[in-house]
């Protein structure tokens, strides 16, 4: 599941970057250039949706603020990694509509990616079962190691 969580985090991160650009904000660095702390924060957000699918954007924001406080961050009018200040270190209801939209978009993207992963996994299992039941399908046989890679989300690139 770790690979799926990272894919969902990457997708949500890159979607957020595009929204930042559209809103005229300075975009976050791309996923490949994001700090480990940024990546970990996104993955934590994905895991919170995975563990509690009904979590609200407000609850998720509150958890994010709490974690940031534990890391020594505080409110500041400008995001500054060195000073550990962030303008979103406020109560959810005090966020402007743009920031609340980012939280809602994050959840929509993550839930979409996780739903797609479930469909892909189910389809792969269905196709493997059909191949096993009908030798005439001309589908490749499924290697048990590859099947477990599908189950774990660790697909190999060819």
Q: What is the pLDDT of residue 132?
A: 74
When the pLDDT of each residue in the chain is averaged and rounded to a whole number, the result is 87
pLDDT under 50 in the chain at which residues?
155-158
In a domain, 142, yes or no: no
In a domain, 154, yes or no: no
In a domain, 125, yes or no: no
Q: What is the pLDDT of residue 157?
A: 45
Q: Which residues contact 59 (CB under 8 A, 6 or more apart)?
A: 52
CA angle 140, 146, 152 (to 5 degrees): 140
In a domain, 103, yes or no: yes
Domain that residue 21 falls in: 2-114
Q: What is the pLDDT of residue 147?
A: 54
Q: What is the pLDDT of residue 2?
A: 73
In a domain, 143, yes or no: no
Q: Where are the beta strands (DSSP E) in 11-102?
A: 74-75, 85-86
In a domain, 124, yes or no: no
Total structural domains within the chain:
1
pLDDT in tens, 29-46: 999 999 999 999 999 999
In a domain, 128, yes or no: no
In a domain, 56, yes or no: yes
């Amino acid at each position: 599941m770790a690979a799926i969580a990272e894919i969902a985090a990457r997708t949500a991160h890159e979607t957020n970057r595009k929204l930042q650009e559209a809103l005229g904000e300075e975009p976050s660095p791309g996923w490949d250039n994001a700090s480990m702390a940024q990546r970990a924060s996104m993955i934590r957000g994905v895991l919170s949706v995975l563990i509690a699918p009904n979590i609200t954007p407000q609850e998720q924001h509150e958890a994010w603020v709490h974690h940031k406080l534990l890391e020594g961050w505080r409110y500041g009018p400008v995001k500054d990694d060195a000073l550990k200040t962030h303008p979103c270190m406020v109560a959810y209801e005090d966020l402007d509509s743009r920031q609340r939209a980012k939280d809602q978009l994050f959840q929509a993207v993550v839930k979409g990616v996780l739903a797609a992963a479930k469909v892909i996994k189910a389809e792969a299992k269905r196709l493997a079962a059909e191949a096993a039941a009908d030798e005439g399908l001309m589908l490749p046989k499924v290697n048990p190691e590859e099947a477990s890679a599908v189950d774990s989300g660790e697909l190999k690139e060819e």
